[in-house]
Amino acid sequence: MGAAWPHGRMGNAQGCRIFALLAFSPFLHPVFSSCQQIVPQHKVTDVVVARVNGVPVLESSLQDEIENLYPVNSAHGGLRPEKLQEVRSQAAEELIVRELAYQQAVKDHTVVPLATAQAEFNRLRAAYGGEKFDRSLRASGVTRKDYTSRIQRSLTLEKIYKAQVVQPAQVSPEALHKYYDQNPKKFVRPEQVHVRIFLAEFGEKATPEEVGKAKSKVDNVYSQLQAGKDFGALATQYSDDAYRVKGGDLGWVHRGRLDPEFEKVAFSLKPGETSKPFRTTYGFSILKVEAREPVRQMSFAEVSPMLQQELVQKNTLELRHAWIAGLKKNAKIEILDKGINPAAASIMGAAG
């Protein structure tokens, strides 16, 4: 589903090079979708903006999370006040859920061992060139101990999320096939046609002269088609439709995808047939159907990749919401900053 937390990011160009080497987890999640800064990017008064079971969430951490979520708007000066509250609230939600998840890991004794974090630190250090890595840490004002602690926390949170959401969200081949068998109507492909279009356009407020000019144009093209000229070539040369660059080729379209004025004509034609010119709200048109396929029940093999993705995404959203709601249910979350929507502390605030 994408990449998520690396273990941290430095506050300068050297640190960013280390950041590029950090390991990413194999999932993308709105709560676990960005790295946590090691060094604040902004000079801020480090006040407490929230508390999670008594643990403070600092303004510097909030600013760093905003930087991670919206790096393009790092200055935040271009955001409208209502947008800034939305961004701050989203960042607060991220930090609150992470803190709750980590507190739960401590309570359950499931924190990743320090030795594992140290091994990951050594792997990153070796990948970046040893001394070069150390110099970047020193330049950022980060100790090995602090950086290793960040890695331990990040690995712990990834482990929790995989166990609580990612792994349970997976769909077995048997469950996938059962869903397909129980919902056959969802996998019926409608009748479809492969169609080309020619358009001699005139606007809604076209004068009679403009309409007449478009009519002459479409009649001329139709005469050439009757004489055996290639539809695609004529569409490329004369059509006013954007698809002229593709020889008027709209590709395969099924019922319900075309404007009713065009659909009626398109689905009345046999493969290889060309319509007579007809008037629509867009101008005068000619359609050609290259091929058509009837309604068809799609096979399990055709739909299974997309179906699996769809079901996993659905399961992930449901499990994530339930998991976050469970974390928040008995938690004491205090929002102390007026720029943060109180919903960030509520169970409903986790539904995003």
Q: What is the DSSP letter of 191?
A: P
| Banded pLDDT at 268 (limits 50, 70, 90) | very high
> Of all helices (H) and strands (E), which one includes residue 225?
helix 208-226
**What is the mean pLDDT of the segment spanning 16-44?**
37
When mean pLDDT is compared across 28-37, 228-237, 269-278, 305-314, the lowest value belongs to 28-37
Contact present, 24 and 35 (Cβ < 8 Å):
no
Predicted confidence (pLDDT) per residue in 308-330, tens digit: 999 999 999 999 999 999 999 99
Q: How far apart are CA 97 and CA 344, in angstroms?
A: 9
Q: How far apart are CA 123 and CA 170, in angstroms?
A: 30
pLDDT value at position 16? 36
Work out the percent of the chain whose per-residue pLDDT is above 90. 68
pLDDT value at position 334? 93
Strand partners, 287: 197
* The pLDDT of residue 344 is above 90: no
* The pLDDT of residue 1 is above 60: no
The two counts, helices (H) then strands (E), for the chain are: 12, 9
Q: What is the DSSP letter of 37?
A: B
pLDDT value at position 3? 33
Contact present, 347 and 325 (Cβ < 8 Å):
yes
Residue 190: phi, psi to the nearest 5? -65, 165
pTM to 2 decimal places: 0.68
Contact present, 27 and 4 (Cβ < 8 Å):
yes
| Banded pLDDT at 287 (limits 50, 70, 90) | very high
Which of these, 270, 324, 326, lies nearest to 294 by C-alpha position? 270
Q: How far apart are CA 40 and CA 61, in angstroms?
A: 7
Give the chain's mean pLDDT.
84
| Banded pLDDT at 81 (limits 50, 70, 90) | confident
pLDDT value at position 29? 36
Domains of the chain (ranges, CATH numbers):
13-173+310-351 (1.10.4030.10), 191-294 (3.10.50.40)
* The pLDDT of residue 291 is above 60: yes
* DSSP states along 145-176: HHHHHHHHHHHHHHHHHIIIIIHHH---HHHH
* The pLDDT of residue 42 is above 70: no
Task: Give residue 209's identity as a one-letter amino acid code.
Answer: E
Predicted confidence (pLDDT) per residue in 141-195, tens digit: 889 999 999 999 999 999 999 999 999 999 999 999 999 999 999 999 999 999 9
| Banded pLDDT at 198 (limits 50, 70, 90) | very high
